[in-house]
Amino acid sequence: MELAELAAEVDTFINNHGGYWKPEWLLSALTEELGELSRALQTFAGIREKNLPSDSSFIKDEIQEESGDLLFALLCLTNYFKIDVEKALLNTLKKYKARDLDT
């Protein structure tokens, strides 16, 4: 599934479940999910101890889950503003590629 299709699926889900929150709440959700991903990565890196099984695949599963949550929150925010997320990402890739040519 392409990114635009995923954004459309998120949009359908949100619209079927009460609609989008206000932008400041969407930003709060995005920030919260980033914090949860950060905690999972810190646990993986051994910076933060958490009562988790020693199996690193469990921690990687948590990183995957939090990455999905973060992406969902980001797609909610971009959908709210009717941003073409594929175009935004492609523009960013162009910017990074051009920047790397300068170095």
Q: What DSSP character marks residue 50? A: -
Model confidence at 75: pLDDT above 90: yes
Q: pTM for the whole thing?
A: 0.87
Question: 99 — alpha (psi -120 to 50), left (phi > 0) or beta?
Answer: alpha
Range 3-101 has CATH code 1.10.287.1080: yes
Domain locations in the chain as residue ranges: 3-101
What is the percentage of the chain residues whose pLDDT exceeds 70?
92
